[in-house]
Structure 1
């Protein structure tokens, strides 16, 4: 049971680490892409993106507003260029601080569960002693 607990903890820790690393990579990309031709191109692509045929079931007004919102994100990257490069200076460490707090919480919960499993598990010596006392 303890092996299963720590295996699940390891998998959750890896997933959490991967998610934070991905968020850090996206933040770093946004910082470098802001204000460049990439961000302007992205805004234009999102603004002029033709809707796929398989989205025909969806409300066209909703899809148009979604397209405009995505275009606004690209435009926001262009306009936020002066401060987003400095913001990545604290966003990166803040993400890793959140990662450390998440890992600490995960390990604390797993340790508590480990102790509970240990305390609640039947002890063989007590089980045999009780069985031996009942046979007398």
Structure 2
């Protein structure tokens, strides 16, 4: 049972590490894209996206237009509010890794407690 516990911990830590790495990369990419203005041009293209013919019978055109306008306004607001978004990468990405470390430590401590509990139960 103890071996299963540590195998499960290793699997959880591997998944958590992959998630943290992807999150750090995504945050870095997103903030650099916002700083370079690439997001606002992509949002404008998305705002002009027509509803596919096969989807139009099931979707209200006014709802889609409102969603597109809201998306475009939110991204434009974000690009004006965050002109120096790339500088945020300097502290947000390390913050992601600090969070990874805290959660990893909590998982290891929980596994140690479970290991101790299993040892006490088997006596």
Q: Same fold (TM over 0.5)?
A: yes
The alpha carbon displacement at 1:66 in A equals 3.3
Give the aligned CA root-mean-square deviation in angstroms. 2.3
Deviates more, 1:59-68 or 1:76-85: 59-68
Change (3 A) 1:110 1:33: same
Check 1:118–1:16 CA distance in 2 against 1; reply closer, same or farther (3 A cut). same
1:94 aligns with 2:95: yes
Match of 1:84 in 2: 85
Distance 1:55 1:117, change over 3 A: farther
Which structure exhibits the higher relative contact order, with contacts defined as CA atoms closer than 8 Å and separated by 6 or more residues? 2
Unaligned runs of 5+ in 2: none
TM-score by length of 1: 0.74
Q: What is the CA–CA distance in structure 2 between the aligned matches of 1:13 and 1:65, rounded to whole Å?
A: 42
Distance 1:106 1:79, change over 3 A: same
- CA change 1:47–1:13 in 2 (3 A) is same
Question: Which structure 1 segments of 5+ residues have no match?
Answer: 124-136
Does residue 110 (structure 1) correspond to residue 108 (structure 2)? The answer is no
**TM-score, length of structure 2 as denominator length:** 0.81
User: Would you say 1:70 and 2:71 are equivalent positions?
Assistant: yes
Cα distance between partner residues in 2 of 1:37 and 1:9: 41
